[in-house]
Structure 1
Amino acid sequence: MDLQQMNLLEQFIYYFRENGSYVFAQFLRHFLISIYGVLFAAIVAVPLGIWISRHHKIADWIIRIANIIQTVPSLAMISILMIGLGLGVNVVIVTVFLYSLLPIVKNTYTGMNQVDKNILDVGKGMGMTSWQRLYMIELPLSVSVIMAGIRNALVVAIGITAIGAFVGAGGLGDIIIRGTNATDGASIILAGALPTALMAIITDWVLGIVERKLDPAKTSQ
């Protein structure tokens, strides 16, 4: 390790020692914004994915619209929403919500279509209603695919939330912006970027565990 890297490490440690509580507060704020956006998206997208799995003619249109939303650059999306919603957290939550729709809708749709039709016929033959087949057969068998979509949405959301600092939403992106504006801000940028990456890794790992726990095929092994 050369002298420049040593100095960067020392500055990084010093910044954390002096601003640890601030970094933690922004970490928590960043995480909650991401969670809220994805949670609201899941509340809408999972039922929507189930519905279009029963109405295949409209499924392509719904997924196409979600694809179009996904192609809009995140900074442009925030700027557009800012016109109607103003500055602050709400703009970022709505942005995360919109970007989370595609992976959750698409994975829910795919997971529901992958359920073996023979199993559904057996359930129907046993006298199960459509709601009973949904909750007792279709959702348990497709939950791993749905969770994979939520995992992807949350990892993307963590990155999008960092941009929210430009509209006064706070989060770890605020620390990164401060670093870019500082004369010697490499250590400050790292103080925002490393926790952001760590958050994405830990979140994906935890949701991976939840996915395996909910998957009946994996829990039975």
Structure 2
Amino acid sequence: MEKIKNNWESIKNKIEQAAFKSGRKASEVTLVAVSKTVDIETVRRAHSLGINDFGENRVNELLSKRESLPGINWHLIGRLQTNKVKDIVGRTTLIHSLDRWRLAQELDKRGLVLEQEVPVLIQLNISGEEQKAGFKPTELGEVLAAAEQFKALRIYGLMTMAPLDPDPERARPLFRELFQLRQKFIDRNYKNVNLKYLSMGMSQDYAVAIEEGANLVRIGSALFH
């Protein structure tokens, strides 16, 4: 518990410094604690420190922890298979990984059945790595324009993942590009779109991501290990 507490204090300080550099307050940045492989008791301890948002990569693990810890905002941050859509809609605060059009259609369909809004972020493959999922940056305008057909799906922002690199500065151009994409489209008044969130930055590069405009950061190892 003491280690997590110390880690949390260090992270909060770094968030505050990075937010200041970008002309914002730390309160404008939400930490999503990545709790994959972390047991329920550890999540409960982290929650007791004031962390309210937790992210899981797998639907089953999210649902299991959600059942034990209902007072938490649960985010799905991993790739979502279409056969899991029926299980996750209505049970998560935000899906960070809308990475293909067919998934958007399935999420919208399920939200319509349940008469529930389905909040998502569009995942963009800014780095262009073949192994990474996500829309190409050049596809973003088309996707946002097509969002008018949705009945339940709501797009609340953009997400990307930088390559794992010991030097966080190498991720800066990618984060800057995502921010610039958001600025390009933010005032175009697409139906069912509100680009208020930028989810980018993880344990190794979250400070740089915040400096470049992130307001959601996904932090696991820096908090729990």
Classify the TM-score, shorter chain.
under 0.3
TM-score, with normalisation over the residues of structure 2?
A: 0.26
TM-score, with normalisation over the residues of structure 1?
A: 0.27
Please state which structure has a larger fraction of its residues in strand: 2
Please state which structure has a larger fraction of its residues in helix: 1
Structure showing greater radius of gyration is 1
